[in-house]
Amino acid sequence: MKSVNVVKIGSLKDKDEKTRGRVKVVDIPEQPMGEEDVRIKVAYCAICGSDPHLVEGIFGWEPPFGLGHELSGVIIELGKKATHKGLKVGDRIAGNFLRFCGTCYYCQNGQQQFCERAGEAKNFGMSENVVWHESQVYKLPDNVSLKQGCLLEPVSIAVRCLDKVNMSIGQRAAVCGGGPIGLLVSQALNLMGATDLTLIEPIAERRALAKKFGVTNVIDPQVQDVLTAGSALTDGRGFDVVIDCSGSVNAVYPLPFITAKGGKLIYAAMYPNDYEMPINLYKHFYQNEITVTGIYIAPYAYPRAMQIMPRFKLDELTSKVFPIDEAEAAFEAQVSGKYPKILIKCNEIPGE
C-alpha cells in the first residue's frame, strides 16, 4: 500500500538538493492486526508542524520511516476483542497516534504523557490504511466531517493548553504564533471567555484569520515592539494567560515580560532541542510569581476534544488538500508557509 515516508534526512528548506531532506510515496506491506486492533482506511492525514522536524532528524530515526499522526478515516476491520467502545465497521473515526499502556506508574498516576511504554506508534497515518489499537480510536460526531475530523489531535492540544492554564472567565489572554495550533488555541480561549484576546503573528493572512476566530487584537512583531504593544493593551499589567504556539526561538524571549503578575505562561510548541533561553528568576518568579510550564502531548483530552470539536471553526484550516501521490508537493507547500494547514488525501471515501 502507499505510504509517505522520510527517505532522506535534512531540512526541506535547504536550497542544496544534495543535502535537502526528502519525503517520498513508497509501497509498504499492510500492517498485521491484533485481536484488540482496528484497521482504518485513512481519508485525510494533516501535515503537522512537527513533521518537517522529523524530516530534519530531530529524533535521530534512521530513514526510511513513516509520517503522519493527524488522521481521520473509516473502520474497515475490527479485531475480535476490539469490542469495548462499541466501534463498528463503517464508523467514521479519528484518533490518538499514541497508545498508552494504562499499567505503568505514570498512567496509573494520571500522567499518560509520560507513559513508559507509549513511544510513537510505527503505524503512521499518511498511508492508505493504518492499524491502531481500539483505545486510540474515537467515533466522529455526525456533524464533524472527515476533513474536519483529522484535526482531532490538534484540537486535543488546544484542550490540554486550556487545562494547564486553568483560566477564569474574563482573564486577559495572548497567543504567540498564528499557525494551526495557535489558531485553535485562540478559538479555545475565546470559548472560555478570554478578554483582550491577542495574537502575536508576523503573517498578515494569519492575523486576519484569527480575527474571524474571535481574536480582538493583533500584534505584528516585525513592525511592533511586543512589550510596548502588550503593555498598551493591558494598561501596563500584562496578560493573565500567555501561550506560545510559535516554536520560534526568535519569539519566545519577550513572553515573560508581557505575562501579568501571578499569570501563567505556557510554552506549547516544539523547540530546537539544544535551545536555552535566559530568564530573570528574581523579576519573573520571585517578584511577579508567574507560573511557566510546557506542553508535550495531550493525555486524557481526546474525549473532551471530540465533544467540543463541533464548536470550532475548522473549514478554513482544512481547505488545502493534496492527493497522496503529490505528497512531495504537499510538503513543499507546508514549508512555504502559504497555507494555515495542509491535508493529504489518502483515499476517496464515498459520501465525503
CATH topology of domain 2-151+314-345: Quinone Oxidoreductase; Chain A, domain 1 (3.90.180)
| In the predicted structure, residue 7 carries a pLDDT above the cut 80 | yes
pLDDT tens digit string along 186-243? 999 999 999 999 999 999 999 999 999 999 999 999 999 999 999 999 999 999 999 9
- Which one, of 125, 122, 112, lies nearest residue 156 by Cα? 112
Q: How far apart are CA 317 and CA 181, in angstroms?
A: 10
| In the predicted structure, residue 27 carries a pLDDT above the cut 70 | yes
**Percentage, residues of the chain above pLDDT 90:** 86
**pLDDT-based confidence at 254, cuts 50/70/90?**
very high
**pLDDT-based confidence at 118, cuts 50/70/90?**
confident
How confident is the model at residue 331, as a pLDDT?
A: 94
The strand pairing partners of 33, in sequence order, are none
How confident is the model at residue 273, as a pLDDT?
A: 81
Q: Say which CATH architecture domain 158-294 belongs to.
A: 3-Layer(aba) Sandwich (3.40)
C-alpha dist (Å) from residue 28 to 31, 45, 79: 9, 17, 21
How confident is the model at residue 270, as a pLDDT?
A: 87
Section 11-21 average pLDDT:
90
Residues counted in the chain: 352
| Residue 25 grid cell | 510515496
Same fold flag, 2-151+314-345 and 158-294: no
| In the predicted structure, residue 184 carries a pLDDT above the cut 80 | yes
pLDDT tens digit string along 314-349? 999 999 999 999 999 999 999 988 899 999 999 988
Q: Phi first, then psi: what are they for 278, rounded to 5°? A: -70, 145
Average pLDDT, the chain: 94
| In the predicted structure, residue 121 carries a pLDDT above the cut 60 | no
| Strand locations in the chain (E) | 2-8, 22-27, 37-46, 65-66, 70-78, 92-95, 129-133, 137-139, 172-176, 195-200, 217-219, 239-244, 259-267, 291-294, 320-323, 342-345
**pLDDT-based confidence at 268, cuts 50/70/90?**
very high
**pLDDT-based confidence at 274, cuts 50/70/90?**
confident
Per-residue burial over 306-344, b if 16 or more Cβ lie within 10 Å, else e, is bebbeebebeebbebebebeebeebbebbeeeebbbbbb
How confident is the model at residue 120, as a pLDDT?
A: 54
What residues does each domain of the chain span? 2-151+314-345, 158-294
Section 137-157 average pLDDT:
96
Per-residue burial over 178-207, b if 16 or more Cβ lie within 10 Å, else e, is bbbbbbbbbbbbbebebbbbbbbbbbeebb
How confident is the model at residue 119, as a pLDDT?
A: 66
| Residue 276 grid cell | 536555552
| Residue 228 grid cell | 510596548
Q: How far apart are CA 131 and CA 135, in angstroms?
A: 12
How confident is the model at residue 60, as a pLDDT?
A: 84
What's the per-residue H, E or C state across 44-95?
EEECCCCHHHHHHCCCCCCCCEECCCEEEEEEEEECCCCCCCCCCCCCEEEE
- Which one, of 38, 39, 42, 32, lies nearest residue 3 by Cα? 42
Helix, strand, coil in percent for the chain, rounding step 5:
30, 25, 45
- Which one, of 191, 198, 279, lies nearest residue 238 by Cα? 198
**pLDDT-based confidence at 61, cuts 50/70/90?**
confident
* Coil vs helix vs strand at 228: helix
